[in-house]
Amino acid sequence: MVHEVDDRSVMETLQSLPSIINSVRAIAGGKPYRVGPSAIGMRYNPYGPSTFDNQNNIRMAFNQQEPRHRALAGSTFTLGYVARMAAGEVEAVSLGAAVGEFGLGYRKMTHAQPWYDDLDAGDGGVFPLCHIVAAMAGAHAAEMFDVEASAPDRMLGLAYRTATGGLLWLANLTPELQQASIAGLPAGGVRIGRLDENNFVTAVREPAAFAADCGPLGDASTVELGAYAMLRIEWEDT
């Protein structure tokens, strides 16, 4: 997919995925369906000789180096992308490499990576989307719950069964504060974890500690998500 350079247009591409999935299935005739590698940035340009060498980290079409990949927006896009692919029963999705321009972890590159380049060597240095990819990989072959969003242009969700109950992920696809009412969760408290601007630094610098924190107990019937924030809502069967 090729899109305009603004953040809204990037997120709007997620709305086209169900139609693309249905078209591929109609063409493929029951053959296995796998997707990737997928990201906001472009690995190769099917319309010209090369991608755009984005040394200055601007929002530009056909970017080889995409600054949103390293930001919360990249994590939100990734979660929304996987949610769409999972709902379409795609067999597998590849989302990048360990390090590099489309990596999960920071590594010094020939182009500038603002803020990350100032990290000390012992600061961890993963991109926030690393936590989303790790969580989705850990949910491999899990039974899915149906999730329906009343405004899928603003929020997407993905839910699946765990060994002790269930887990719901929500992604705010917008730069504005969003409030959501959630129906269908079991009665009682749930664990509510967040990945947002308030714990961005911890997620990057202390990835193991961040991943081990499931969040406090709370009521998830109504929740708020900041700009490009994600929620992790976990419950146990009673």
Res 4: pLDDT: 78
225 pLDDT higher than 80: yes
| CATH homologous superfamily of 144-236 | Golgi alpha-mannosidase II (2.60.40.1180)
Omega prior to 186 cis, within 30 of 0: no
Q: pLDDT (tens digit, 9 = 90+) per residue, 144-203?
A: 999 999 999 999 999 999 999 999 999 999 999 999 999 998 877 899 999 999 999 999
238 pLDDT higher than 90: no
Using DSSP, state whether 234 is helix, strand or coil.
strand
Tokens representing 114?
């603002």
**What does the angle CA 82 – CA 153 – CA 187 come to, to the nearest 5 degrees?**
70
Instruction: Give me the chain's average pLDDT, please.
Output: 91
Res 207: pLDDT: 93
E strands, 88-218, are 92-93, 97-99, 103-105, 144-145, 155-161, 165-172, 178-181, 190-195, 217-218
131 pLDDT higher than 90: yes
Res 165: pLDDT: 94
**Mean pLDDT to the nearest integer, 219-223:** 92
Domain with CATH 2.60.40.1180 in the chain: 144-236
Res 122: pLDDT: 65
Q: pLDDT (tens digit, 9 = 90+) per residue, 80-124?
A: 999 999 999 999 999 888 998 889 999 988 889 999 999 876 666
